[in-house]
Copies of this chain bind each other. A is one copy, B any other.
Amino acid sequence: MTMAALPTVGLMLGDPTGIGAEIVCKVVAAGELPVEARWVVVGDARHLDLGMRDAGVRIDWRGWPSLERIDWSDRALPLVDLANIDPAGVERGAASAEAGRLSGETLAFMIGEGQAGRLDGICFAPLNKGALFRGGWKYHDEHQMFADLTGHRGYYGEMNSIEPFSTFRVTSHIALREVTQWLTAERLDAALDLAHTSMQGIEVERPRIAVAALNPHGGEGGLFGDEELTLIGPAVERARARGIDARGPFPSDTLFLKARAGQFDAVLTMYHDQGQIATKLLGFGQGVTITAGLPTVFTTPAHGVAYDIVGQGRADPGAMRSAMRRAAQLAAAAVRRRARQAARTDPHHQESRP
């Protein structure tokens, strides 16, 4: 059967010590899996079962030996069972290096499937970063892990999406004293390009991108800091010359009042806390974190494993639902982009999938 291609998105249930499986099951059982994608759970059947028990729901699912073997006409949610995580052997509500090691293993398998063209996106429930690290996945954050495992060499970055805007960062998990040495013209250009294409990926055709200043009051005309004049302002001008609706730089303490009021679709920040202070105040629970710029789409809720409420059935699935929606949107956009590229190469091309 030839059909317009739907992207395939893999669902990963998160660290088994946390609330991940519960919130995934709540969204699935409510019939809220976005229809713009085909969905498959990759993980362990026992972990999915635990999620259903936590959520107090039943899900119609069926196991398959591999992604290639799935019959997508089957109405049951497919599961590729790695049989690697037995939640009965894991203490819940506390960090576990072993759980981190196994979670990383599941992610690495899914990334391999993405590399092989069998997954367009990966939507994962909350992980425990410290557990991943102690479990042997020695990265500063999961974005670095994904970039490394996908063999990505170009620019990539973390995107945080809340209502009504998204944030991007030029620098992230580095010491504040090192921020200025990473603010280069090249990185600013790449970050603005990535913000522009990523916003188009979530269906904002001509995103209004506000660029944050680095210094207080935007440096007050060079009185305290001149990066706005020498570096950030020129990058905004270059972006505009490329057709990107970039604006600023704006002093960061009032910028988020404007973004909250709907004046911008995206904000490009210069350092981690500049954006995170605002986004966490504006909607911590509902935010989505996206790894932008990699060949495979990655999304996850911005919140964590919530050990204080594990196993109580009280976890709010709102951010998980949003993460799934973003994954479907971005993966569909990536499939369309690849189809356009293929069509330019071969005008008779029509992407098809079994």
Contacts and interface: CB of A to CB of B under 8 A. Distances in A.
A256 B280 contact: yes
Contacts of A256: 277, 280-281
The 10 closest A-B pairs by CB, nearest first: A175-B225, A253-B276, A216-B272, A177-B180, A277-B277, A175-B224, A252-B273, A253-B277, A253-B280, A174-B224
Most buried by B among A172, A176, A215: A176
A257 B79 CA distance: 38
Nearest to A253: B276
18 contacts: A140-B220, A140-B224, A173-B216, A173-B220, A174-B224, A175-B225, A176-B215, A176-B271, A177-B179, A177-B180, A216-B272, A251-B273, A253-B273, A254-B280, A254-B284, A256-B277, A256-B281, A257-B281
Contacts of A226: 175
Interface in A48-84: none
A223 interface: yes
Nearest to A259: B281
A188 to B, nearest CB: 15
Most buried by B among A180, A219, A274, A277: A277
Given A173-B224, A176-B214, A254-B280, 20 more contacts: A140-B220, A140-B223, A173-B220, A174-B225, A175-B225, A176-B215, A176-B271, A178-B225, A216-B272, A216-B273, A217-B272, A251-B273, A253-B280, A256-B281, A257-B280, A257-B281, A257-B284, A260-B281, A277-B278, A278-B281
Interface in A71-130: none
A226 B175 CA distance: 8
Contacts of A174: 216, 224-225
Contacts of A178: 224-225
A235 B217 CA distance: 28
Interface in A257-281: 257, 260, 271-274, 276-278, 280-281
Interface of A: 140, 172-180, 214-217, 219-220, 223-227, 251-254, 256-257, 260, 271-274, 276-278, 280-282, 284
Given A140-B223, A175-B215, A277 B252 contact: yes
A336 to B, nearest CB: 34
Contacts of A251: 273
A224 B182 CA distance: 14
Contacts of A273: 216, 251-253, 274
A225 B176 contact: yes
Contacts of A282: 281
Contact of A176 (B172, B180, B257): B180
A254 B174 CA distance: 18
A174 B214 CA distance: 11
Contacts of A225: 174-178
A216 B276 contact: yes
Nearest to A270: B176
A172 B223 CA distance: 13
